[in-house]
Structure 1
Amino acid sequence: MSKKAIILITFFVVLSVGFLGYAGYVIKGERGSFFGKEKLPILGVPGHTVPGFSFTDQEGKIKTKEDVKDKIYVAEYFFTTCTGICPKMNANMEKVYAKYKNNPDFLILSHTVDPEHDSVPVLKAYAEKHGADAKNWWFLTGSKKDLYRLARQGYLVDDGTYTGDEDFVHTQWFALVDKTGQIRGLYEGTKKQDVEKLIVDIDRLMEE
């Protein structure tokens, strides 16, 4: 074999080893994405974002979409007199809150579905029961029509079907929202494994 052939073979071997090493490094990205970490999906129709809103928190302060600008947050719906799914949901939400309560870029928005009963003082007492600081865990009330519309058309946590004579939102879903208002995941707030996945996905979203 000529000297030139040996040089060429050596060059291609080194090149191949280098490429495989690099590919192996890249493939180690999350969920096996060849080009690095795979991003969370964007839910809803193309271009969907959470619309504007104006609600009152447990301190009597008005919160709008401007207040969540450039924040990652989790949205849920509940009511303080619920004895079914809500206690379990908010016990699980406490775990999420405990991990991120000191992160200035993270919020939790808990919307009441029973604004007639859940006044500001009632929400404040409920928030205190869950150890929630109003700076980053908001318990929100407002117009029932606006609350329900946001649940269905904004956060996509309720499909609008109900039984009985009165419309009522009663959903176990948590919505994960990114800094631009896009829905990046839905999680069953009553299920431990879903809440654990939510925490993992919040971390992933913070790295995007």
Structure 2
Amino acid sequence: MQPIRRIIWICLMGGLVGCTLSAEKLPVLGEPQTVKKLVDGKEVDELVYPTIPDFSFTNQDGKAVTQKEVEGKIYIADFFFVTCPTICPIMKKNMLEVYKAYKDSPDVRIISHTIDPEHDTPAVLKQYAQDIGVTGDTWQFVTGDRDKIYEIGERHYLVTAQADSTAPGGYIHSGAFVLVDKEKHIRGMYDGTTEEGTKKLINDVRTLLAEYE
């Protein structure tokens, strides 16, 4: 198990390594770095947790989606492709439950990244969104440079997202839903292929929103 994913696993199991945890707040996931900081004239160590970097993709309406889209909001990210013959239909059915729960909230967004940008053009994503009943700007389906999508998925959202000629449909990706806070920290990872994981995400979104009240 890779070190960062091991840390996340420990956090999710209720440990204290690589995360912050309290009774009222969700953990902050990822491997922190220690930086020096002056407090009242004294140098102290402070843990700094990784953040999602700036990005630029294109959504189902052909519009650019950048960090500005989620500025001051929390959001859920996942990875899929339209022609996926395995877990994607289940994931999108479950994400629809998240969407229905928060589609009227101005503080929540969903970003689904295609890992097959050659096929999944904005027009294809638009039709896909319409077919599953998504309207408005709460749920963004994005495409873009393939390498950048894979990089942000594997390096920053800490999920599997890559081409694999041996996999059904030619791509492999995790079924994770990733919850990100307003400061761009990962605050939860959920099994998007299960009802249990989906319900926990819906509840944790509520918990995270309460941190900002």
TM normalised by structure 1 equals: 0.78
Cα distance, 1:69 vs structure 2: 1.0
Q: Which runs of 5+ in 1 are unaligned?
A: 1-35
**Per the alignment, in what secondary structure is the counterpart of residue 131 of structure 1?**
coil
Summarize deviations over 1:109-147 as a string: whole Å, max 9, x none.
000000000011100000111211241100000000000
Larger Rg: 1
Report if the CA contact (8 A) 1:78-1:110 is conserved: yes
Alpha carbons of 1:130 and 1:113: their partners in 2 closer, same or farther (altered >3 Å)? same
Displacement over 6 Å in runs of 4+: 159-163
Structure 2 CA distance for aligned equivalents of residues 159 and 143 of structure 1: 13
- Which of 36, 40, 43 aligns to 2:26? It is 40
Q: Which letter does structure 2 place at the counterpart of 1:41? A: P
Structure 1 CA distance for aligned equivalents of residues 130 and 163 of structure 2: 33
Summarize deviations over 1:138-180 as a string: whole Å, max 9, x none.
0000000000001011211228796859x94411011000111
- Which residue is equivalent to 2:152? 150
Q: Which has the higher helix share?
A: 1
Structure 2 CA distance for aligned equivalents of residues 122 and 38 of structure 1: 41
Give the aligned CA root-mean-square deviation in angstroms.
2.1
Higher relative contact order (CA 8 A, sep 6+): 1
Structure 2 CA distance for aligned equivalents of residues 144 and 194 of structure 1: 28
Within a 5 Å distance, the mapping from 1:31-110 to structure 2 comes to 37-46=23-32, 47-110=49-112
Q: Which has the higher strand share?
A: 2
Structure 2 CA distance for aligned equivalents of residues 201 and 42 of structure 1: 13
Structure 2 CA distance for aligned equivalents of residues 155 and 134 of structure 1: 25
Structure 2 CA distance for aligned equivalents of residues 147 and 170 of structure 1: 12
Structure 2 CA distance for aligned equivalents of residues 134 and 63 of structure 1: 14
**Per the alignment, in what secondary structure is the counterpart of residue 156 of structure 1?**
coil
Q: Which runs of 5+ in 2 are unaligned?
A: 1-21, 33-48
TM normalised by structure 2 equals: 0.76
